[in-house]
Amino acid sequence: MTAMQWPQLIQMRQQLDGAHIADLEACLREQLRARLADSEAMPGQTVAIGVGSRGVSPIVKVVRSIVSELDRAGLEPFIVPAMGSHGGATASGQEAVLAEYGITLASVGAPVRATMEVIELGRGPSGQTFFGDANAYSADHVVVIGRVKPHTDFKGEIESGLCKMTSVGLGKQIGAERIHETGLAETIPEGAQVAIDYGRLLLGVALVENAYDQPAHCEVAAPDQFHATDRRLLVAAKRLLPRLPIDQLQLLVVDEMGKNISGAGMDTNVVGLWRLQSFGEKLPDYHYLATLRLTEESGGNATGIGMADFVSGKLVEAMDPDQTYINGTTSLVVSGSRIPMNFPTDAETLEVAVSAASRLANRGTPRMARIRNTMELEEFWASEPVADQLESEGRAERTGSSERFAFDDAGDLIGVAT
């Protein structure tokens, strides 16, 4: 094992907004009943519910509530995957993604009907053709569920939410490819409007989550309110988004990355969008990024691995190239799928990363931090220079715990899932 002198890391805690909905099912039930009563949906008609691959924390509860209210109204609901090219761009793969999130006939009370076949919905003002899931648009009505949040690939008035689920998620692989080719910020709203004009959309369920991955807001919107709802709720979502309270580090260590944590594997709102796009303002400016594991829930999809400078061999071994590369080529952000400098063990990976960061600090203690992932940021570890700054500026407080990196006999970092 290495004789490296590891920097002391201080456990820090920051205050995050934890306001959340106490009874999500009641919130959904009241709004769904009001919207359905005011709709043209008739008993006996079919309703496709588009469910995505993003980890909305109470997704089973949300889908089950929607199914229950549709059943109560005499409608016949079924589930369709609304996830673009995810799941390896296959029907079985997308159905498996839903099953991993707990979305099955037994759990939500409605069958899953997966296909990669699409129909053409029409052309937008730009001349772009937009597509929709063939199973979804064979139904009398379509419902979409969207988590409204800042996107990891672009910035705009409308980012992730109802419009994106409508145009990209239900657009399947071909729809996602076309939209990524022409620019997400402009094309997502255009594609959503084409889908709305097609006439099958019944309602959208918009959710905003707090920094603890809990539902902070739920809203049932009519199709003609999708764009306005996305714009308004994005403001709230940006306010609630967890971030590290420090803009400059010489090294950030991320224990785990994965599609269940962020669509980009690691949230670019935390590590910096410039790492994915290779241009733009370096804010936050984390000079080096080391990542150690891929979550099991990712199913081998290591999209975002290319944002790191150093990764462990275990992360590379867990990567499924087919899953990862199809995601990268569909989004046209191929840099996120590149394999960085990697080493067999965590100890070797971190020795190289910390040594490089120490050189930036004139071989002193580097400005560094360690986080579990980019979603869980209430508590994190910081080196002395960073801890002192955060405490003096009132951005975070010491918990009283400290540690140095410690490894088992296999060179795995203790405290990281193996």
Look at residues 174, 206, 240 and tell me which one is the last residue of a structural domain: 240
**Pair (207, 256) in one structural domain:** no
Q: For position 259, what pLDDT does the model report?
A: 87
Looking at the predicted structure, is the pLDDT value of residue 303 above 90?
yes
Q: How confident is the model at residue 1 (pLDDT cuts 50, 70, 90)?
A: very low
Among the residue ranges 117-131, 144-158, 205-219, 381-395, the one predicted with the least confidence is 144-158
Task: Please determine, for residue 401, whether its predicted confidence score (pLDDT) is greater than 80.
Answer: yes
Give the pLDDT confidence score for residue 89 in this predicted structure.
87
- When mean pLDDT is compared across 52-56, 125-129, 167-171, the lowest value belongs to 52-56
Which band of pLDDT confidence, cut at 50, 70 and 90, is reported for residue 181?
confident
Is 413 domain-assigned? no
Q: Are residues 271 and 344 in the same domain?
A: yes
Exposed / middle / buried, residue 204 (Cβ in 10 Å: 0-12, 13-18, 19+): buried
Between the CA of residue 206 and those of 21, 40, 183, 383, what are the distances in Å? Answer: 13, 21, 23, 39
Strands (E), 148-188: none
Q: Are residues 251 and 212 in the same domain?
A: no
Assess whether 278 and 218 both reside in one domain: no
Same domain, 126 and 75: yes
Q: Is residue 317 part of a domain?
A: yes
Q: Averaged over 376-391, what is the pLDDT?
A: 96
Instruction: Specify the pairing of strand 215-221 against strand 201-209.
Output: antiparallel
Last residue of a domain, one of 213, 240, 267: 240
Same domain, 286 and 214: no
* pTM of this structure: 0.81
Chain mean pLDDT for the chain? 93
Of the residues 240, 271, 296, the one at which a domain ends: 240
Burial of 124 (0-12, 13-18, 19+ CB in 10 A): buried
What was the pLDDT predicted at 221? 97
- Average of per-residue pLDDT across 315-342: 90
CATH number of the domain encompassing residue 99: 3.40.50.11440
Cα–Cα distance list, 44 to 70, 71, 76, 161 (Å): 10, 10, 6, 29
Please say if the pLDDT value at position 418 is more than 70.
no
176 and 257 co-located in one domain: no
3-state helix, strand, coil in the chain (%, to 5): 40, 25, 40
- Is residue 2, in this structure, part of any structural domain at all? no
Which of the four pLDDT bands, split at 50, 70 and 90, describes residue 232? very high
- Confirm if 293 and 346 have CB atoms less than 8 A apart: no
* Structure confidence at residue 282 (pLDDT): 87
Q: Specify whether 197 is located in the same domain as 334.
A: no
pLDDT at 417: 60
Q: Are residues 208 and 273 in the same domain?
A: no
Q: Give a yes or no: residue 370 inside a domain.
A: yes
Report the number of distinct structural domains present in the chain: 2
Nearest to 146 by CA among 158, 132, 171, 163: 163
- Predicted local distance difference test score (pLDDT) of residue 277: 77
Residue 207 has pLDDT above 60, yes or no: yes
Question: What is the reported pLDDT for 172?
Answer: 93
Under the banding of pLDDT at 50, 70 and 90, the label for residue 10 is very high
Q: Does residue 295 contact residue 256 with C-beta atoms inside 8 Å? A: yes
pLDDT digits (tens, 9 = 90+) for 27-74: 999 999 999 999 999 999 999 999 997 666 789 999 999 999 999 999
Which residue type occupies 403? E
**Is 409 among the domain residues?**
no
pLDDT digits 0-9 by tens, 358-367: 999 998 899 9
Taking residues 125-129, report their average pLDDT: 94
Which residues constitute the domain of residue 294? 9-16+242-403
Q: Which residue's entry shows tokens 């594991």?
A: 293
Q: Are residues 217 and 317 in the same domain?
A: no
Q: What pLDDT shows up at residue 276?
A: 83
Instruction: Tell me the average pLDDT across 88-117.
Output: 94
Residues 100 and 298: beta-carbon distance below 8 Å: no
- Residue 297 CA to residue 268 CA, distance in Å, equals 19
Pick the more confident residue, 186 or 373.
373
> What is the distance between the alpha carbons of residues 316 and 272, in angstroms, rounded to a whole number?
22
Alpha helices (H) in 221-267, listed in sequence order: 226-240
pLDDT of 153 > 80? The answer is no
**412 within domain boundaries:** no
Is position 4 within any domain?
no
Residues 161-176 have a mean pLDDT of 93
Query: Same structural domain for residues 229 and 248?
Result: no
- Which tokens in the block code for residue 148? 């409204």
Report the pLDDT averaged over residues 214-241: 95
pLDDT at res. 279? 67
pLDDT confidence of residue 393 = 96
Residue 416, domain member (yes or no): no
Same domain, 197 and 276: no
**The pLDDT value given to residue 381:** 97
416-to-3, 213, 381 alpha-carbon distances in Å: 21, 21, 14
Q: With cut-offs at 50, 70 and 90, classify the pLDDT of residue 302.
A: very high
Reported as a single tens digit per residue, the pLDDT across 258-294 is 988 988 899 999 999 889 876 678 889 999 999 999 9
